[in-house]
Amino acid sequence: MNLDDAQQQQVRQWIEQGLQPADLQKRLADELGLRLTYMEVRFLLDDLKLRPKDKEPVPPPPLATPRVRSAPAQAAAPAESADALAPLPSAPEAPAEGAGAGEVSVTVDQVTRAGAVVSGKVRFSDGQSAEWYLDQMGRLGLAPAQKGYRPSQQDVTVFQVELQNAMAQMGF
């Protein structure tokens, strides 16, 4: 399509104003009487070495700020919740007397358990064992061999550290 200089200048102005090819197609038909297909408009823009401007992205809405509990409610919160949110220690602490003479050992399965990203076995300091797995959502699960068994908090901490070390050796 050949446009005269005035028409080309008009197309340039419309592109500078931010018109998209579909809008430009409509303007060409309405104001200049040129009926072009969308593809012809794209070729016209290419011939004139023009590129439509990208639309401004809509900023995402601000996140709602979480509510903060009042001071009396925080004082009434159990002390265990603060410990549960504390970061893991970089090295396991020495086992307490009576916690078991053994140590926690973690192995990673060669063939991953169904529904898991990675899985393996753990033997706790008291000799009890369990299967562990990490699912696609990043949740850690523990399936003890003895129904109802719950390892000590110290064993859980050591297990988490050993698991992190084993996963780091695998490149996770």
The SS3 of residue 159 is helix
DSSP, residue by residue, 99-148? S-SS--EEEE-SSPPTT-SEEEEEE-TTS-EEEEEE-TTS-EEEEESSTT
pLDDT digits (tens, 9 = 90+) for 68-113: 454 444 444 444 444 444 444 444 444 444 444 468 899 988 888 8
Least confident range from 49-53, 106-110, 121-125, 160-164: namely: 49-53
- Could you tell me the two tokens for 20? 């998209």
- Between 163 and 63, residue with greater pLDDT: 163
- Between 62 and 97, residue with greater pLDDT: 62
Q: How far apart are CA 85 and CA 163, in angstroms?
A: 18
Instruction: Answer positive or negative: Cα dihedral of 33, 38, 44, 48.
Output: positive
pLDDT digits (tens, 9 = 90+) for 3-60: 888 888 888 898 888 888 888 899 888 988 888 898 988 888 888 888 887 776 677 7
Placement of tokens 């090819």 in the chain: 21
Q: How far apart are CA 136 and CA 114, in angstroms?
A: 11
- Could you tell me the two tokens for 79? 């002390």
| Report field, pTM of the whole predicted structure over 0.75 | no
